Amino acid sequence: MNRTLMAGLVLSVVGLAGYAVGLTVPYTGRAFSVTAVMAGTTLAAIGYSLAGETQ
């Protein structure tokens, strides 16, 4: 697995976890969790598209 895909998946999972916690306990950084999910999804899509290329 390439690094871009793995980073995107990890960032998405961390962002989703942060948002889930933010639903139960309000904290000021919840908006950053939404940004993490969007950036993670983008990185995962880029990494997935690069994984199909031949070297």
Angle in degrees, 0-180, between the axes of helices 3-24 and 30-51, rounded to the nearest 10: 160
Which band of pLDDT confidence, cut at 50, 70 and 90, is reported for residue 55?
low
Cα–Cα distance list, 47 to 13, 26, 29, 51, 55 (Å): 16, 33, 27, 6, 14
Report the domain count for the chain. Answer: 1
Contact present, 4 and 43 (Cβ < 8 Å): yes
Q: How far apart are CA 31 and CA 47, in angstroms?
A: 24
Q: By residue range, what is the domain housing residue 28?
A: 3-51
Render pLDDT for 5-31 as a digit per residue (tens, 0 to 9). 999 999 999 999 999 999 899 888 888
Highest mean pLDDT among 16-20, 46-50, 51-55: 16-20
Question: What mean pLDDT, rounded, does the chain reach?
Answer: 89
Q: Look-up: residue for tokens 């309000």?
A: 26
pLDDT of residue 54: 55
In the DSSP assignment, the letter for residue 1 is -
